[in-house]
Amino acid sequence: MRGSRRPLDTQEALMAEKLNVQPREEFGKGAARRIRAEHKIPAVVYGHGMDPVHLVLPGHETALAARNSNALLELALPDGTAHTVLIKDLQRHPLRRTITHLDLIAVRRGEKVEVDIPVTLTGEVVSPAIAVLDVNTLTLSADAMNVPEQIEIDLEGKEDGFQLFAGDVVLPEGAELVTDAETLVVAVQVPRVDEELEAAIEEVEAGGAEAGADSAEESEGAEESASEE
């Protein structure tokens, strides 16, 4: 059955993380290596028709903020200028997984951006059913300054057969769904045992029972022969 429309429990908006940054003055691979050796991250800000702005970000603070893929950052420069940005692209070291470079997009209040918002599930469904998450994110168009951190779906007490589609998720005020409304987000269902596997199990169990019966008959026959002797 199709899930009914209802408000979600939590749709937290992201708060801007303020980072004190420096203008980047050296370029090239050697300069980039020196920046990373100082536990800092080279980055570029694009957007609003301006020339790209090359910056150096603090490594630890940036890594913490970037744990959310839609992190809103407020970058403060020494001369008092600032840029409010979203992470557009993030590159990591293939082995250490540390951030090696960031592409950032400048945003303004009231500006709409398309973002993929993670879907999380809470609550216990009625046993023996389980919840099956069909998509991990929903794409929304939202105010750049009011991007939800997650979309939480409460499945407490939901039974086998429950389904929730993207179009049935109540979105935060001002946000619009970009994902196809007919996309199945989550379903509650009882796990189905594969018919062939079930038949194989029954066959093995039946074979075991027959073997046990044959063994019992052989044992009885041996006992009778022994008593006759």
Give the number of other Cβ atoms within 10 Å of residue 203's Cβ. Answer: 10
CATH of domain 112-189: 2.170.120.20
Burial 46-66 (b: 16+ CB within 10 A, else e): ebeeeeebebbbbbebbbebb
Per-residue pLDDT at 219 exceeds 80:
no
pLDDT in tens, 31-50: 888 998 899 999 999 987 78
Domain borders along the chain are 17-106, 112-189, 194-229
Please determine, for residue 84, whether its predicted confidence score (pLDDT) is greater than 70.
yes
| pTM of the complete model | 0.67
- The CATH code that applies to domain 17-106 is 2.40.240.10
